[in-house]
Amino acid sequence: MRSRVRDRYQRWLSKRLPAESSVVLKNRRLFIFVSKAGALFLAALLLMLLTAINYQNNLAYGLTFWLGTMLMVGIHHTHGNLLNLKLTGVGAPAVFAGQQAEFQLRLDAGGKRAHQSVRLSWPGSECCIDVPARDTVNVKLYHRVGERGWFYPGRLRVETCYPLGLLRCWSFVDLQLRALVYPTPIPGPPPRSQGLGGDEGGGSSAGDDDLSGFRDYRPGDSPRTIDWRGYAREQPLQTRLFAQPQQQHHWLDWKDYDSGTEAQRLSWLCHRALILDASGDEYGLRLSGLELPLGRGDRHREQVLRALALFGLADTEAS
């Protein structure tokens, strides 16, 4: 019964507050009710009214109705504190499974009225900010992610109790935010092969001690590379050049592992990709139905990690 009620509530909420990348809080999207402090305040007003009726005390009547009027005026100001506030989902950088995803949002007052003490929250993460009139504020909220793939944080709760704290005005917004979650990098067993008959171009044809030539000295060159012997023979100051080791080529192949679950294999491949990227070697990726050519650099690393994150997921999730 509880799950049925929750499902019906979510369907009603999705119909009443549809998902949009940018939302302006209008009357239809706002809800308002007394807070806990407001409930105690109403109870106190009721007690004061009963006392005034019992003793027919005009001063008690005046104080009760004056405080009640303050509550009525507070409804207008609390509701107006969120009215016309614009929220836009900017995005979120990719993270590894189990980490905190950083979601970036932009709040725009867009009018003459400032928005004070606006609280944004997800379960386990919240912040309270002020948005000055005719100004924009960028906000970062964090949410712990689960398994690899696309992570959707769900609806964001926007609320305020400003200015009296006796009323709470709130809304739920779905800004269509999502974050790409990479597999957790875990060291795995040695792969069966490195592809291309091992490490293509493996090893170095020349080490750091192999002198390949000289060039004129440039400010900033390391003193260890300066030709001090030639300089002692009254030759121009020169810098020694050494042959660089050849880059190695590697293939990250799904078939390199005979054991392990799908999640473990992806984590092993992810770990190897990060190691090879840090070493500067070229590497490619071979998965079932997918092959990324050899490459290096930040863009290539992101392509490889994205392929590992979305491997085997439905097309709707991988879009």
Reference 142, options 123, 170, 158; nearest CA is 123
Cα torsion through 143, 149, 155, 156, rounded to 10: 30
Considering the chain, what percentage of its residues have pLDDT values greater than 70? 88
- Cis peptide leading into 163, omega within 30 of 0? yes
* Residue 256: other Cβ atoms inside 10 A: 20
The 10s digit of each residue's pLDDT in 16-69 is 888 899 999 999 999 999 999 999 999 999 999 999 999 999 999 999 999 999
Higher pLDDT, 146 or 87: 87
Cα–Cα dist 166/133, whole Å: 24
Cα–Cα dist 114/135, whole Å: 9
Distance of CA 71 to the CA centre of its chain: 39
232-236: average pLDDT: 80
pTM for the model stands at 0.74
Banded pLDDT at 190 (limits 50, 70, 90): confident
Instruction: Give the pLDDT score at 309.
Output: 94
pLDDT at 150 over 70: yes
* Residue 91: other Cβ atoms inside 10 A: 12
Q: How far apart are the first and last CA of the chain?
A: 35
SS3 226: strand
Cα–Cα dist 211/285, whole Å: 35
Cα–Cα dist 178/184, whole Å: 18
